[in-house]
Structure 1
Amino acid sequence: MIENMIKEGKIVPSEVTIKLLQNAMLESGNDKFLIDGFPRNEENRAAFEAVTKIEPAFVLFFECSEEEMERRLLSRNQGREDDNIETIRKRFKVFVESSMPVVEYYESKGKVRKIDAAKPIEEVFEAVKTVFTAQDDKVKWQSTLS
């Protein structure tokens, strides 16, 4: 069903995505999770909390200017069709319109941990470790940066 919806250019309903996430979380046997890129909008957020009855401990938000994002995406040279200035700017606009209200919602609850993503990779990684270590002093980190 999901595959067909994607092929047809349709949006997969939040409840379907959330049930898949919830099943994966339950099957993993873990009690802590990092979900990347979700919720993407307020409807996703409200549906996730309603279906799972889970409110995140915190939201990790990587701050990066539009100019820096453009520079990085245009220079990553992965041959992606969507790595062009027009598409990048459209995606950024959609992010600001759709995803920023989610960030603002959690920020009003004191749950947003911001990271300055414009800094060098090593500094960003150290800042992320600090956020997670502050949440759980038992976390053990091993850098995979070379």
Structure 2
Amino acid sequence: MIINSLGTLVRKLLLMKPRVVFVLGGPGAGKGTQCVNIVKKYGYTHLSAGDLLRAERSKEGTKYGELIDSYIKEGNIVPVEITIDLIKRAMDETMAEDATRNKFLIDGFPRNTDNLDGWNKKMDNDADVKFVLFFDCSNEICIERCLERGKVSGRTDDNIKSLQKRIQTYMQSTKPIIEQYEKEGKVRRVDGAKSVDEVFDEVQKIFDAEN
């Protein structure tokens, strides 16, 4: 009986799919800060597409490093195949350590229709997208926050030239993704201009309703 029960549990764990929440919003909208809070309270694993790309860029001898570096410096979107490969690798590594850790916040992805098409093509059968958490914040506030962050972050893209390009890319490429998910009823909108605590109050209401 015990052996049969263990066998059933193992099969269930092997069949568990990653449950994904996409976290979107302009640069400086508060995505990273709130993801930290969500991880603490709800047990998600936070994967930042930008952080994964920057980490890969900083490693010596990787096949993607120089290519990623050139895209980030220009404020452009890295080819989807690279980003999805890094995201999938991170999810696989997390679940290999503990199969029950199958809830993921994917921050800053998908950023354009190419991203979304690539995700649907490669990951549609391997992960379930539960909803999109969208931090709605004005461009002016986003730029102001990023410039302030840039004083201590050391990020090469937290400067006015890169920020203007990133905002333009976001408006042209990512906004349509949010609108598309909105038509499917999958967008959960949060006012990102409020204080950190006020924003998290709204976030908690969303996750409490979804869980």
Q: Give the TM-score of the pair, scaled to structure 1.
A: 0.80
User: Which residue number corresponds to residue 164 of structure 2?
Assistant: 89
TM-fit CA distance, 1:68: 1.3
User: Which residue number corresponds to residue 13 of structure 2?
Assistant: none
* 1:2/1:12 contact within 8 Å kept: no
Question: Which structure has more helix as a fraction of its residues?
Answer: 2
User: Which residue number corresponds to residue 207 of structure 2?
Assistant: 132
Select the residue among 105, 108, 111 that pairs with 1:34: 105
How many pairs were matched up?
135
Q: Report the AA paired with residue 21 of structure 1.
A: I
User: Which residue number corresponds to residue 184 of structure 2?
Assistant: 109
Name the larger-Rg structure. 2
User: Which residue number corresponds to residue 2 of structure 1?
Assistant: 64
Q: Deviations over 1:68-100 (max 9, x none)?
A: 112222333326554343432221111101111
User: What is the distance in 2 between the residues matched to 1:33 and 1:124?
Assistant: 20
3-state SS of the aligned residue for 2:185? coil
User: What is the distance in 2 between the residues matched to 1:57 and 1:71?
Assistant: 31
* 1:58/1:113 contact within 8 Å kept: yes
3-state SS of the aligned residue for 2:177? helix
User: What is the distance in 2 between the residues matched to 1:24 and 1:86?
Assistant: 31
User: What is the distance in 2 between the residues matched to 1:83 and 1:4?
Assistant: 19
User: Which residue number corresponds to residue 16 of structure 1?
Assistant: 82
In the superposition, relative to structure 1, how do residues 72 and 24 fare at CA in structure 2: closer, same or farther (>3 Å)?
A: closer
* Percent of aligned pairs with the same amino acid: 44
User: Which residue number corresponds to residue 141 of structure 1?
Assistant: none
Q: Report the AA paired with residue 4 of structure 1.
A: E
TM-fit CA distance, 1:106: 0.6
1:60 equivalent in alignment to 2:122: no
* 1:64/1:117 contact within 8 Å kept: yes
User: What is the distance in 2 between the residues matched to 1:17 and 1:55?
Assistant: 18
Select the residue among 167, 170, 195 that pairs with 1:120: 195
Higher relative contact order (CA 8 A, sep 6+): 2
User: Which residue number corresponds to residue 142 of structure 1?
Assistant: none
Q: Deviations over 1:29-64 (max 9, x none)?
A: 233211011111110111111101145110011011
Unaligned runs of 5+ in 1: 137-146
* 1:15/1:51 contact within 8 Å kept: no
User: What is the distance in 1 between the residues matched to 2:108 and 2:130?
Assistant: 16
User: What is the distance in 2 between the residues matched to 1:84 and 1:115?
Assistant: 26
Q: Report the AA paired with residue 34 of structure 1.
A: L
